[in-house]
C-alpha cells in the first residue's frame, strides 16, 4: 500500500510499504477514505518530536471502511464505516474505566521510554513516535487499529467524511479544552490560536454556554474564519497588545478562562522569541510557550487556563507565581477522544455544528508532503488539509 512516511525535518515521502495485518484478536484493518494533517503533525514535520525513526508512517486523524476484523471484535463487521480516535486505549484499565482514555496503561509498548521523561507513560498514539508506541499512522491506504472493539465509532447516517472525520481528534480536542474551562453562564473565554483546534474550542465554548469568546492569532484568514464562522471577537496580536486589549475588553478583570490552542511552536516578535528559539534549538527547552505565558498572565483571578496545545518536555519562564497568587486552575491533556465521539456525533447529526467548515484543502495522499508544506507555511490561506488515499 501507499503511506506517508517521515524521514527527517521537512522530509516526508509517500512510499510503497507492506500492508498492515491483524496481529491481535482485538485488531481491525481499516481501508482509509479520508485522513487529515494535524497541527500536532507539524511538530513532527518541524523536527520537535523525539524518537521518530526514518520510514515511520505518520497520521492520527483518519476514517474509513472496515475490511478485516480480529476474532474478538464483535461490534464491527466488514464494510462498516468508522472514525478512529487518535489515542489507542484498551477500555478496561484503571484509566480507561475512568474515561481517561489518553492515559491508558495497556496500549503503549514503549512505556519505559516515556516514563523516563514523564514519570508515567501516556497511551499509544497512531503515527506519533516510538515513545508513544511506534504505531503506524493513518496517512496511508490502510491502517491496523488495535482495540478496535472499543475505539472506532460507526457512522450509520449519510453524513459525509468531511463532516465526521474530525471526531478522530480536533473537534473533541477543542471541546475538551472548552469543557476544562468549567464555563458558567456569562463567562468570557479567550482562545490563543485560530488553527483547527482553536476554532473548535471557540465553537465548543459557545456550545457550553460562554457569553463571549475572544480569539487571538495573526493570520487574517484565520482571524476571519474565527469571527465569520465561529462568531468570536478577535485580536490580531501583531496589531494590539494582547494583555492590554483583553483587560480593556473585560472591564479590567481579565477573561474567566484562557485556552492555549497554540502549543510548543508559539510565535512572537522580539527578544523573548529569539530566546525561546535558541533554547528550543539547543534542546534546553522543548517548546516556545509564548501563548501559555500570556494566558496565565491575562487570566482573571480564580480563573482557569486550559491547555490543549501540545508541549513535549521542559518549558522555560512559566510565570508560576501568577498561578499561585491568582489562584488559577490549570487543565490539560491529550484528548480522551473516546469519551466525546458519541455525544459530538449526535451534535453533528442534530445540526448544532458542521465541522467541515474549517477545511480549505483536499489533496490526494500522493501530495501529502506538499500538504504539510503549505499547512506549515500557511500558504494559500491553508487552515486544514484532508488527504484522500
Ligand X SMILES: NC(=O)c1ccc[n+]([C@@H]2O[C@H](COP(=O)([O-])OP(=O)(O)OC[C@H]3O[C@@H](n4cnc5c(N)ncnc54)[C@H](O)[C@@H]3O)[C@@H](O)[C@H]2O)c1
Q: How far is the CB of 28 from ligand X (least distance, A)?
A: 22
Q: Which CB, 15 or 227, lies closer to ligand X? A: 227
Q: Name the residues that contact ligand X, by CB under 6 A.
A: 38-40, 42-43, 169-170, 173, 192-198, 216-219, 222, 237, 261-263, 266-268, 290-291, 308-310, 334-335
* Nearest C-alpha neighbor of 84 from the set 142, 18, 154: 154
Element (H, E) at 237: none
Residue 318's contacts (CB-CB under 8 Å, 6 or more residues apart) are: 289, 292, 293, 296
Q: Given the complex with ligand X, which of 69 and 114 has the nearer CB atom?
A: 114
CB of 313 to Zn ion, least distance (A): 19
Minimum CB separation of residue 59 from Zn ion in Å reads 9
Residue that the C-alpha cell 494559500 belongs to:
380
Distance CA 55, CA 13 (A): 8
Is 52:127 a contact under the CB 8 Å cutoff? no
Binds 266: which of ligand X, Zn ion, none (CB < 5-8 Å by kind): ligand X
Give the x-and-dash track for 98-117 against Zn ion (CB under 5 A). ------x-x-----------
Instruction: Find the binding residues for Zn ion in span 79-98 (CB under 5 A).
Output: 89-90, 93, 96
Q: What is the DSSP string of 58-79?
A: ---EEEEEEEEE-TT--S--TT
Give the 3-state secondary structure of residue 292.
helix
The label of the residue with cell 488553527 reads 195
Rounded distance, CA 327 to CA 230, Å? 30
Query: Coil, strand, or helix at residue 207?
Result: helix
If binding is defined by CB under 5 A, does position 299 make contact with Zn ion? no
Q: How far is the CB of 351 from ligand X (least distance, A)?
A: 24
Task: Kindly give the interhelix angle for 290-298 and 271-281, rounded to the nearest 10 degrees.
Answer: 130
Pick the closer one to Zn ion by CB: 106 or 234. Answer: 106
Q: How far is the CB of 291 from ligand X (least distance, A)?
A: 5
Q: Which stretch binds Zn ion (CB under 5 A): 35-43, 222-230, 250-258, 369-377?
A: 35-43
Which of Zn ion, ligand X, none is residue 267 near (CB under 5 to 8 Å by kind)? ligand X
The residues of the shown chain that bind Zn ion, judged by CB under 5 A, are: 38, 40, 89-90, 93, 96, 104, 106, 169
Amino acid at each position: 500500500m501507499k503511506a506517508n512516511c517521515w524521514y527527517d525535518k521537512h522530509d516526508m515521502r509517500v512510499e510503497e510499504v507492506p500492508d498492515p495485518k491483524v496481529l491481535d484478536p482485538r485488531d481491525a484493518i481499516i481501508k482509509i477514505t479520508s485522513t487529515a494533517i494535524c497541527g500536532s503533525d507539524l511538530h513532527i514535520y518541524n523536527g520537535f518530536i523525539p524518537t521518530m525513526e526514518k520510514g515511520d508512517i505518520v497520521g492520527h486523524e483518519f476514517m474509513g471502511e472496515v475490511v478485516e476484523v480480529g476474532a474478538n471484535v464483535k461490534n464491527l463487521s466488514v464494510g462498516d464505516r468508522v472514525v478512529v480516535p487518535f489515542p489507542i486505549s484498551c477500555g478496561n484499565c484503571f484509566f480507561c474505566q475512568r474515561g481517561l482514555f489518553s492515559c491508558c496503561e495497556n496500549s503503549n509498548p514503549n512505556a519505559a521510554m516515556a516514563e523516563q521523561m514523564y514519570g508515567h507513560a501516556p497511551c499509544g498514539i497512531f503515527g506519533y513516535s516510538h515513545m508513544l508506541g511506534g504505531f503506524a499512522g493513518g496517512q496511508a491506504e490502510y491502517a491496523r487499529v488495535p482495540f478496535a472493539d472499543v475505539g472506532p465509532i460507526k457512522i450509520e447516517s449519510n453524513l459525509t467524511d468531511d463532516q465526521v472525520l474530525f471526531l478522530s481528534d480536533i473537534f473533541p480536542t477543542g471541546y475538551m479544552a472548552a469543557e476544562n474551562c468549567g464555563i458558567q453562564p456569562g463567562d468570557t473565554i479567550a482562545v490563543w490560536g485560530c488553527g483547527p483546534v482553536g476554532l473548535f474550542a471557540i465553537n465548543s465554548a459557545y456550545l457550553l454556554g460562554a457569553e463571549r469568546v475572544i480569539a487571538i492569532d495573526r493570520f487574517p484568514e484565520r482571524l476571519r474564519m474565527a469571527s465569520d464562522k465561529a462568531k468570536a471577537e478577535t485580536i490580531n496580536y501583531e496589531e494590539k497588545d494582547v494583555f492590554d486589549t483583553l483587560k480593556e475588553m473585560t472591564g479590567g478583570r481579565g477573561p474567566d478562562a484562557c485556552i492555549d490552542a497554540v502549543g510548543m511552536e508559539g510565535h512572537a516578535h522580539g527578544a523573548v522569541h529569539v530566546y525561546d528559539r535558541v533554547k528550543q534549538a539547543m534542546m534546553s527547552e522543548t517548546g516556545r510557550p509564548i501563548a501559555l505565558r500570556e494566558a496565565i498572565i491575562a487570566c482573571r483571578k480564580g480563573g482557569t487556563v486550559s491547555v490543549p496545545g501540545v508541549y513535549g518536555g521542559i518549558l522555560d519562564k512559566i510565570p508560576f507565581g501568577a498561578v499561585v497568587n491568582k489562584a488559577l486552575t490549570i487543565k490539560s491533556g491529550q484528548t480522551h477522544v473516546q469519551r466525546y465521539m458519541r455525544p459530538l456525533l449526535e451534535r453533528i447529526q442534530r445540526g448544532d455544528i458542521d465541522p467541515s467548515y474549517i477545511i480549505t484543502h483536499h489533496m490526494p495522499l500522493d501530495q501529502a508532503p506538499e500538504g504539510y508544506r503549505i499547512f506549515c507555511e500557511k500558504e494559500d490561506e491553508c487552515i486544514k488539509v484532508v488527504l484522500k488515499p
